[in-house]
Amino acid sequence: MANGLWEDFTSKYGFSDGAAVEPRDFEARARLVDALNDHPAMKTAGLRTLEYDRPGFHNSCLVVVVSAHDKADSELLRLWKENKIADEAVPSYVELALPELIADAYAT
């Protein structure tokens, strides 16, 4: 019952290739996405995080980071799945804060 890591939320091989994902990981992911989208550095960078339930045999509990483009989340996810927008990296300041943000997401 360990907390997921950022790598778990961003790789199809995360959470032991999906075998170790639990309902609490999806709940923590939702809180993490909200926290990241509210983070000032993410807003300044024009980035948005999205929840993505990846189909198939691998990890289904993913977080996608994209440029915001002033579109609804559902539209951004559609564009991302169609390879019309690319994954982005979180700013370094946010990357340093990820362990604490993830711990908070699981603690709530």
Residue type, 7: E
Q: What is the pTM of this model?
A: 0.94
Residues 6+ apart with CB under 8 A from 32: 9, 49, 63, 101, 102, 105
Write down the domain spans for the chain.
6-107
Query: Which class for 70: exposed (0-12), middle (13-18), buried (19 or more C-beta within 10 A)?
Result: exposed
Q: Is 100 helix (H, G, I), strand (E, B) or coil?
A: helix
Which pLDDT value is given to residue 1? 67
Which pLDDT value is given to residue 2? 85
Give per-10-residue mean pLDDT for the chain (108 aa).
93 95 97 97 96 93 93 95 96 96 95
Distance separating alpha carbons of residues 11 and 28, to the nearest angstrom: 16
Alpha-carbon distances of 26 from 30, 45, 63, 105, rounded to whole Å: 6, 25, 10, 10
